[in-house]
Amino acid sequence: MNRALAETLTVLDRQRARVKWQQESYFSELSGVFSTQTSTHVRGFQGDLISDESVLDDLVMTRQVKPDPSLETSWPELGKVDMAGMGFGPCGYSNGPSFDMNYAISRTFSCPPAVAATIAKEAMEVKGKESIVSENMGSAVARESSKKRKADKLHNSKVAADDDSKKTKACGEEEEESKITGPPNTNKSSTKQEPSADTSKENSKLTEVQKPDYIHVRARRGQATDSHSLAERVRREKISERMKYLQHLVPGCNKITGKAGMLDEIINYVQSLQRQVEFLSMKLAAVNPRLDFDIDNLFAKDVFPPCMTNFPTVGMSSEMANPSYLHFNPVQQVVACSGVEMGLNSPDIALRRTISAPESTIPDASFLDSSCFTQIQPSPTWDVELQNVYNVAFEHGRSTTPFPSQPFA
Amino acid sequence: MKRWRAKREHQIYSSKLFQALCRSRRTSSSTSAKELHQTADRVLAITAKGTTRWSRAILAAPLTAGTNMKKHKKAKVTVHTRLRKPVVNREKKKLPVVERKLKALRRLVPGCRKLSCNNLLEETSDYIAALEMQ
C-alpha cells in the first residue's frame, strides 16, 4: 500500500513535473532543440515559430495531456523532423514525425502564405544542395543533357538575377570541384581556369527553374563560364535578336549581314520614311481646303486597307483607293484649280527617285509609295499617266467614282 | 510591333488624324506643312499609347520637335567589357564605326538620345513600324 501510494505520488510528481516542464520549457526547448539542428533553415523557422507562439499557447493549454506521451517519443526523433511540423506539433503530432522535410513543407499546413513562401524557398535551397551532393554521378548526365539544353537554350536565355547567381555561386562552388573530377572534358577544363572565382552557371542546369520570377542563363557547352563573359554574351544575343527583327522590318536587308551594314540600311530607311511623311504632310497641307468634302465619304466606308499590302498594279479595288483619296482627289482638284501640276509632279518624281535608290526592290513599300506610284515606272510614261489620272479624276469630280485603275495597267 | 500592322490600329489612327486635322483647321486657318507634320506625328504618338519612348518624346515636346536640333553631347559609349584592358588601336577604330551609326540613329529617332544600344534598336523597330503605318 505504501508502495502504491509512493507510486501514485511519484506518478503525480512526474505528471506535475511534466506539466511544469511542458509549460515552462516548451518554447525554450523547442527553440533550443531547433538551434541544435544542423540545417540553417531552423533559424528561419524560428522567426516563424515565434509568431506562432500564440497558437502554441492555446494548444498547450488545451492539450496538455494529449501531446505529452507523443512529445516524449517525438523529442528524440526531432533530428529528422521538419520544424514546420513541430511548429504545429500539437495539431499534427499523430501524423508521426518521421516524414521527410520536403514532404512536410509541401504539405499545406496552415501556414500563412508568406511563411510558406520563405519555407519553400529554403526548401529549394536544401533541395539544391542535396541534389549537388547526391548527384555527383548526375554530372555526366548533365553533360549529355547540356547538348539537349543547347537546343532549347532559346527558351531559357535570360539573365540570371543577381541574388540568384549568388545562391548558385555558393552551391556551384561545391559542384565545380565535384565536376572537375568528373568525366574528362577538355573544353571545359581549359576554360575553367579559376573555378573558385567563377560563378558556375553550369549549376543552373541541375537546379530546376522553380522560381518563375527569376530568369536563368544557361551556359552552353564549351563556353566560358566567366560571369562577365556570360553577361556580355547575353547582351550580345539581345542585340543580335533585335537586329534580326529589324532586318525583317526593313525591306531588302536579307542579303546584308553585319551590324554596320545593317545599321546603315536602317538609318537610310528611317530617313526615307521620315521624308515621306514630310512630303505627305506637305501635300496634305497644300490641299487642305478640300479636305472636308472628301473625308465624309471616305470614312463612310469602314474598310481600310492595311498599309502594308502590296498593291497589284491592276487590281486596285475601290476600297483600297479610299485612303488614297484623301491625298489624291484633293490633290487633283487643287492641281486642276491652281495649276501647280508641275510643282506637284516634281516632288513626286524626286521622292520616287530618292526612294528607289535605297529601296530598289520594294514591292511592299510604304503607303505613300503604293498610292502614288504603285510601280516604279520610267519617268516619262509616269508623268503622262499621272497627268491622266489627274485629268480623269477631275473630270469625274467626286469621290463616288472608283479610283481609276486603268492608267496603272 | 504587331500592333502597327493591325487593321484596327489603322482605323484608330486615321480617325484620330482626321479629328485632329479638323480641329487644327478650325483653330488656325493656315495649315503649314510643318504643323501638319507635327499633328500627324502627335497622332501617331497618341496611337502608340505611351508605351514607347519616342512617342512620349513627341508628345512631351511638340513645339521643339523637329525645329530644335540641340547639339547633343557625345553619345555615351557603350562600355564593352573587353575595354577593361587597354585597347589596341585597331580595335579603337572598329568600335566608333558602329558607334557613329548608332549616333546617327539616335538623332533620327526622337527621344532616344541617351538610350543604350539594345533599347535603341528596339525603339527603332517600333518607330519604323509606326512610320510605315503613317
User: Which are the contacts of A54, defined by CB distance < 8 A and separation ≥ 6?
Assistant: none
Give me the mean pLDDT over the A223-247 stretch.
86
Residue A147 phi, psi dihedral angles, 5° rounding: -65, -40
DSSP string of A139-199, one letter each residue = HHHHHHHHHHHHHTHHHH--PPPHHHHHHHHHHHHHHHHHHHTSS--HHHHHH-S-TTTS-
Q: So where are chain A's domains?
A: 227-303
The answer to whether B10 contacts A304, with C-beta atoms less than 8 Å apart, is yes
Q: Is residue B76 part of a domain?
A: no
Q: How far is A33 from chain B (nearest CA, A)?
A: 50
CA distances from A17 to A33, A68, A73, A296 (A): 19, 12, 17, 96
Q: Report chain A's mean pLDDT, rounded to a whole number.
A: 53
H/E stretch holding A269 reads: helix A259-286
Q: Which residue has the cell 565536376?
A: A179
**Enclosing domain of residue B12:** 7-60
| pLDDT average per 10 residues of sequence, chain B (134 residues) | 74 81 74 74 74 75 54 47 54 72 83 81 84 82
CA pair distance A216, A222, nearest whole angstrom:
18
What are A14-38's pLDDT values in tens digits? 566 565 666 666 555 545 444 444 4
Q: Give the separation between CA A246 and CA A240, rounded to whole angstroms.
A: 10
Q: Which of A270, A276, A278 sits opposite B109 (nearest CB)?
A: A270
Grid cell of B127 as nine digits = 518607330
Q: Could you give the number of structural domains in chain B?
A: 2
What is the three-state SS of A101-151? HHHHHHCCCCCCHHHHHHHHHHHHHHHHHHHHHHCCCHHHHHHHHHHHHHH
Q: Give CA–CA dist B30/B34, Å, rounded.
A: 11
pLDDT value at position A299?
Answer: 54
The reply to whether residue A231 touches residue B81, judged by beta carbons under 8 angstroms, is yes
Whole-number pLDDT of residue A62: 47
Put simply, the answer to whether A285 touches B35 (Cβ < 8 Å) is yes
| Greatest mean pLDDT among A118-127, A185-194, B53-62 | B53-62
Please report the beta strands in A34-120, taking only residues with DSSP state E, as ranges in sequence order: none
Q: What are the chain B neighbours of A243 within 8 Å (beta carbons)?
A: 121
For residues A251 and A360, give the distance between their C-alpha atoms in angstroms, rounded to a whole number.
10
Helix pair A113-134, A41-51: axis angle to 10 deg: 160
CA A272 to chain CA centroid, nearest Å: 33
Residue to test with chain B: of A274, A290, A326, A370, most B Cβ within 10 A: A274
The pLDDT value given to residue B31: 64
> Which has the higher per-residue pLDDT, A135 or B127?
B127
Class of domain A227-303: few secondary structures
Among A229, A286, A299, select the one facing B18 at the smallest CB separation.
A299
Q: How far apart are CA A13 and CA A11, in angstroms?
A: 5
Give dist(CA A223, CA A190) in Å, integer.
10
Average pLDDT over residues A126-137: 45
Query: Do A263 and B102 lie within an 8 Å CB cutoff?
Result: yes
Mean pLDDT value of segment A339-368: 45
Q: Which residues of A touch B10 (CB under 8 A)?
A: 304, 306-307
| CA angle at A34 for the pair A28 and A40, rounded to the nearest 5° | 140
**In the structure, what pLDDT confidence band is assigned to residue A13 with cuts at 50, 70 and 90?**
low
As a whole number of Å, the CA-based R_g of chain B is 18
Q: How many Cα neighbours within 13 Å face the side chain of A376?
A: 18
Cβ-defined contact of A277 to B41 (cutoff 8 Å): yes
Nearest residue in chain A measured CA to CA from B103: A267
* Residue B77 lies inside a defined structural domain of this protein: no
User: pLDDT tens digits for A267-292?
Assistant: 888 889 888 888 888 887 777 666 55
Residue A184 in this model has a pLDDT that exceeds 60: no
Instruction: Please report the pLDDT score of residue B85 as a whole number.
Output: 56
